[in-house]
Amino acid sequence: MPNLAVLGLQWGDEGKGKIVDILAERSDAVVRFQGGNNAGHTIVVNSKKTILHLIPSGILYENSVCIIGNGVVVNPQTLIEEIETLRKSGIKVSPANLKISSNAHIIMPYHIRIDLLRESSKIGTTGRGIGPAYEDKIGRRGIRMCEFINPSTFKQRLEEFLEEKNMLIKFYGGEEFSIDIILSEYLKYSQFLKDYVFDTHQIINQYISDKKNILFEGAQGILLDIDHGTYPFVTSSNTCSGNIYSGSGIGSGKIKKIIGIVKAYTTRVGNGAFPTELEDSTGEFLRTQGGEFGSTTGRPRRCGWIDLVALKYAIDINGVDDIALTKIDVLSGLDEIKICTAYKLGNEILPYFTNSNEILKKVTPVYQSVKGWGVAFPKDIKDYSQLPNETKIFIKKIEESLKTKVSIVSTGPSRDETIFKENIWE
Ligand code: GDP
Ligand code: IMO
Ligand code: MG
């Protein structure tokens, strides 16, 4: 199997976890390269649900080494909890199959507090400290894994930064931190995690030289990308394919295929423009049928029709080779399915997507309709040819408009509810 990457092409929660889990069966390593525990990736195996926030979605396979790359921001407490939860359900997790980059930055408790205090800014963040942690990374005030696991360096770094953080917390009206309290808790975490820390870029490049199969797992979605998303209603990292290279430490040309995950409709958690949003009974239908409640915060996800204008942009920005279309089963029962094919601004049709939140708020989606395929989605479909005709027409429309083939169709949350329409491994 060549090296593959799985990226979300909408506003997150497209079903990346499920697809990564499926592809991980044939992978030697799965690498996360950005984001943090703002992500919530769900895997369902034999009706058992596992939600992963930081650990790559390959962890359920013993053969897969899971790597948390340098581009990720790591909350040590969440990571340890995730390791322990997995162990309790019988999954082996050790430094042999989980490796964290020595250059990954730590999410400190003050990052979380600042994130929560600032939420008056109405981004609708997950409150996990992601933005403040990336700010400190770029501002060269961050603490990296390699510093965190060395108690004297960790203490020194904290002494250097805490006063400034406390000033900020005070400014926002929050409670300040004492260095001793942070140290007493975080030194325990660092001792737990120290054996998991490696120069992961070296390991990944060695795997590449050894022709091992690597799967890169994106978090969030392209419309939440710090540069290309609907700024400022975005996350604080680059979610696009360009960041696979810097977030894991590999050179360009090492990835054979970028697989874009597309939900058969659109969802968004948090605030910001959403042209095809449905604030009516159809939106409610999608939310209920699709179980659209955040895997991380439990918030109801905003729901709307599939948006080919935004998807065309996402494909361009990421250089997507193949699409995995998920949650097609959720549309069952609708008489008519709408597909947004253009935006109108006043009387004009916009020639291309814009990531300007202000303009997106004003556009009117132009829809084409296709016929639905009846109430219950047929179970146990193994082959594309067994899909209802109306479903195939819907998929064809997506492929033709986006000039990209749909290679995987997901018809339910479980591993066995997956159709390989094309051979993505060749
Ligand atoms: P991610 O963040 O992209 O990994 O997606 P999430 O896990 O946050 O949200 C996707 C949700 O949809 C999870 O509950 C999955 O179990 C579920 N899911 C994934 N694929 C399908 C599918 O094809 N059909 C249905 N009904 N659910 C799916
Ligand atoms: P996965 O990987 C959906 C959204 C938040 C908020 C914005 C900024 O499961 O697809 P942040 O906490 O990152 O500063 O919040 O980004 N967001 C997500 N929405 N899925 C995610 O991850 C998300 N991660 C962040 O809701 O609007
Ligand atoms: Mg999610």
CATH number of the domain encompassing residue 219: 3.40.440.10
| Encoded tokens for 341 | 């094919």
pLDDT at residue 232, as a whole number: 95
- The answer as to whether 233 is a domain residue is yes
Taking CA atoms only, the protein residue closest to ligand 1 atom 27 is: 413
3-state secondary structure of 68: strand
| 31/118 same-domain check | no
- The answer as to whether 202 is a domain residue is no
Helices and strands (H, E) in the chain, number of each type: 13, 20
Mutate-to-test residue for ligand 2 from 123, 224, 261, 299, highest number of ligand atoms within 8 A of CB: 224
| 181/147 same-domain check | yes
Q: What pairing do the DSSP bridges indicate for beta strands 29-32 and 48-52?
A: unpaired
pLDDT at residue 254, as a whole number: 94
158-177: burial string, b at 16+ Cβ within 10 Å, e else = beebbeebbebbeeeebeeb
* Per-residue pLDDT tens digits of the chain, which is 426 residues long: 689 999 999 999 999 999 999 999 999 999 999 999 999 999 999 999 999 999 999 999 998 999 999 999 999 999 999 999 999 999 999 999 999 999 999 999 999 999 999 976 689 999 999 999 999 999 999 999 999 999 999 999 999 999 999 999 999 999 999 999 999 999 999 999 999 999 999 999 999 999 999 999 999 999 999 999 999 999 999 999 999 999 999 999 999 999 999 999 999 999 999 999 999 999 999 999 999 998 888 899 999 999 999 999 999 999 999 999 999 999 999 999 999 999 999 999 998 999 999 999 999 999 999 999 987 787 788 899 999 999 999 999 999 999 999 999 999 999 999 999 998 887
Q: How far apart are CA 152 and CA 141, in angstroms?
A: 17
pLDDT in tens, 200-251: 999 999 999 999 999 999 999 999 999 999 999 999 999 999 999 999 999 9
- The answer as to whether 201 is a domain residue is no
| 214/152 same-domain check | no
- The answer as to whether 274 is a domain residue is yes
Phi, psi of 74 (to 5 degrees): -110, 125
43, 45, 47, 49: CA torsion to nearest 10: -30
Closest among 350, 262, 348 to 307, alpha carbons compared: 262
3-state secondary structure of 318: helix
| 268/385 same-domain check | yes
Active site residue 13: yes
pLDDT in tens, 309-331: 999 999 999 999 999 999 999 99
| 134/249 same-domain check | no
Residue 51, H or E segment: strand 48-52
Sign of CA dihedral 141, 161, 231, 101: positive
Residues facing residue 306 across a β-bridge: 339
What's the DSSP call for residue 144? B
Atom of ligand 1 at shortest distance to CA of 220? Answer: 2
| 244/301 same-domain check | no
Neighbours of 305 (CB within 10 A): 23
Which of these three, 241, 257, 273, is where a domain ends? 257
Q: How far apart are CA 31 and CA 203, in angstroms?
A: 11
- Ligand 1 pocket, residue 18 CB under 6 Å: yes
Pocket of ligand 2 (CB under 6 A): 8, 11-13, 38-41, 123-126, 128, 130-131, 219-221, 224, 233, 235-236, 269-270, 295
Residues contacting residue 288 through CB under 8 Å, at least 6 positions apart:
none
| 179/219 same-domain check | no
The count of structural domains within the chain is 3
CATH number of residue 266's parent domain = 3.90.170.10
Residues around ligand 3, an ion, CB closer than 5 A: 13, 40, 295
| 268/363 same-domain check | yes
Domain that holds residue 82: 4-100+207-257
| 111/96 same-domain check | no
Which of these three, 215, 239, 257, is where a domain ends? 257
Q: Which of 21, 28, 41, 225 is catalytic?
A: 41
Residues facing residue 68 across a β-bridge: 32, 100
Measure 347 CA to ligand 2 centroid, in angstroms.
33
| 86/235 same-domain check | yes
- The answer as to whether 298 is a domain residue is yes
CATH number of residue 166's parent domain = 1.10.300.10
pLDDT at residue 187, as a whole number: 97
- Ligand 1 pocket, residue 57 CB under 6 Å: no
Q: How far apart are CA 316 and CA 389, in angstroms?
A: 29
Active site residue 201: no
- The answer as to whether 325 is a domain residue is yes
Which of these three, 137, 162, 193, is where a domain ends? 193
| 279/313 same-domain check | yes
How many angstroms separate the first and last alpha carbons of the chain? 7
- The answer as to whether 246 is a domain residue is yes
| 89/114 same-domain check | no
Q: How far apart are CA 122 and CA 145, in angstroms?
A: 31
- The answer as to whether 386 is a domain residue is yes
